[in-house]
Structures are given as structure tokens and as C-alpha cells.
Amino acid sequence: MVPESGGIVPRIMTRGRDGLSHAAAPAYTRGMSCLFCRIVSGEIPAKKVFEDDDVVAFEDINPQAPLHVLVVPRAHVATLNDLGDGHDRLVGVMVRRAAAIAAERGVAARGYRTVFNCNGDAGQTVFHIHLHVLGGRALAWPPG
């Protein structure tokens, strides 16, 4: 899949509390070109396993393990680098939802993995943050 942003799309720079400039997620990707915004809105179908006011979780289209669900915020945030202080609660909601899904699928005790890929070296291909929840088999470490 071709990355939807990451260098090509012009970024709006904002100055955070740390005094550094941060790239703001481009507002015009919301509901337009962003694949996961379109899944969140229902414009593109997905096998949703959970949704509430904060997040949507759905089966990965190319599963890498018997359990492979993506937990996605409704709000568009392109990468982990674009998170700010105001997102702390949302990230907590995402992580706790991942744990709840692992429990529902019966892998919590055996073990599972949660992964946020960020930018090119990590292989991020969809530039709307998502937490992978992988389980149901022994997972190799270190990752490739």
C-alpha cells in the first residue's frame, strides 16, 4: 500500500508546550483520503468488533496471526509523533480496549502483542494511528 502522507502532504507546524515544532495532522485528510477515517465513518466496510465514542476496532484485512485486530481512534491523528498532551486519555482508552479484546478472544493469559508502527522504518502504511492487537500463536522476538 502506498503511504497516504508522510512527506508528500504539506504539514501545518504547531508549537507544543515543549517549545518544539510538531507536525499537525492535515485536517483535509479527515473523511477524504484517509483510509481509516473512511472506515470509522462507515464509508468503507470493515469487520468491526467494537466501537464507542472514542475508538473503532476491526479485523485487519491481512491478518498476521489468528487474532489481528486494529484499534483506531475516531479522531484523525497521523502518527505517534503527532500526539499531544490532549491525547493522553485517548491513548489509554486504545490500550485498555486492546487488552479487553485480547481477553474476549481468550488470549490474555497466553499472551499477545500490541504494536504502534510509526513512520517508514517501522513500516507504517496507514497514516492514522492504530494499535495492532496480535495473538493466538507464539510471536517471534525481536521483530524483523
Q: Among residues 61, 96, 99, 104, which is the contact residue for ligand AMP, using CB under 6 A?
A: 61
Position 130 contacts Zn ion (CB under 5 A)? no
Residue 97: which of Zn ion, ligand AMP, none does it interact with, CB under 5 to 8 A by kind? Answer: none
- Cis preceding linkage at 142, omega within 30: yes
Position 34 contacts Zn ion (CB under 5 A)? yes
Q: Which is nearer to ligand AMP, 1 or 109 (by Cβ)?
A: 1
Say how many C-beta atoms besides its own lie within 10 A of residue 136's C-beta. Answer: 17
Position 81 contacts ligand AMP (CB under 6 A)? no
Q: Are 82 and 16 in contact (CB under 8 A)?
A: no
Cβ neighbours for 33, distance < 8 A, ≥ 6 positions apart: 4
Chain residues in the site for ligand AMP (CB under 6 A): 35, 46, 58, 60-62, 70, 117, 123-126
